[in-house]
Amino acid sequence: MPRPAPEMQSPDATVVTTEVLRSWRLPEPAGDKNTRGSILVIGGSAETLGAVLLAAEAAMRAGAGKLQVATAGSVARFAAAALPEALVRALPETDDGAIRADAADTVRDLAEAADAVLIGPGMEDTEQTQEFGARLLRYREGPVALDALGLACVTADDTCLHHLGGRVVLTPNPVELAHTLHADKDQIDEDPAGATADLAGRARAAVGLGGVTSWIAAPDGRLWRDDSGAAGLGVSGSGDVRAGITGGLLARGADPAQAAVWAAFLHGRCGERLSSSVGRLGFLARELPSEIPRAYAEIIP
């Protein structure tokens, strides 16, 4: 049975605006691709390669310099064709096409060398994914972003990321947050800010909760509210794009809370731009990544 989320007083939140972001500028690396950081995106399955493609492109559009992708072996060649910028590694998969837990050993070298690792978009099979995360993350020292089913290891053990010293961003939606906290979704809806802060404290990670209003919490108690966005962002693949932005910002050197806050606003602003140019509803998640550099240029010309 779900356990009740603890009652807590939500701290005051900083509303995210362009002025806030201009006073909290992202690192501006100069030089070649290596100075902009490398991102490893791990995810997908035989049926959900698209999630990885969306996240990977978004990471590059957010400013990462080098892209590596690890996905289920049966679809790896398609990822390589769709992402000519990427090194793509094929991972062992289950009979149902999900990434196997022991694939953590296959990708460990890439994960240890990458400036940031994003785990989760499009992953399937909760048990295999939970064990994959536990096996891979115990060796990870640098920044990590966990999205969607990538949070399975945190659901099982909310202390599993403590060794990373806060160099983590979690990007759940409300349903995933409820599952991770072993709470009912109604409890999350009643106090999304408090629930976000709760997970941040438990996991010692920055947490970016997606939704009509985004809440971002740091483990030190700081809280932000982001109201950017448009109704059209409620579409398949949108969360994968936001996770990719987060990972790309981590790769280029943003600290976890900064990456989560900027990703929320950039994602929302991309939706607003498409709402204006395409229509309030009907734009696709695949159209969001190309808007990221334009949205960033509006903030930092």
Write down the pLDDT at residue 42.
98
Q: How confident is the model at residue 134 (pLDDT cuts 50, 70, 90)?
A: very high
Write down the pLDDT at residue 33.
72
> What is each CA distance from 51 to 54, 67, 90, 110, 212, in whole angstroms?
5, 15, 16, 20, 21
pLDDT at 9 exceeding the cut of 50: no
Q: Which residues pair with 87 in a beta bridge?
A: 68
The runs of H, that is alpha helices, within the chain are 18-22, 49-61, 76-82, 103-113, 126-137, 152-156, 174-180, 185-190, 192-203, 238-251, 256-277, 292-299
Residue that has been written with the tokens 């972003």 in this structure? 145
Write down the pLDDT at residue 11.
59
- Average pLDDT over the chain, rounded to an integer: 95
Q: How far apart are CA 268 and CA 254, in angstroms?
A: 19
Q: 57-78, pLDDT tens digit by residue?
A: 999 999 999 999 999 999 999 9
Let me know: does 40 contact 114? Beta carbons within 8 Å. yes
The whole model's pTM is what? 0.95
User: Identity (one letter) of the amino acid at 45?
Assistant: S
Q: Return the CATH fold of 33-299.
A: UDP-N-acetylmuramoyl-L-alanine:D-glutamate ligase (3.40.1190)
pLDDT at 31 exceeding the cut of 90: no
Write down the pLDDT at residue 97.
98
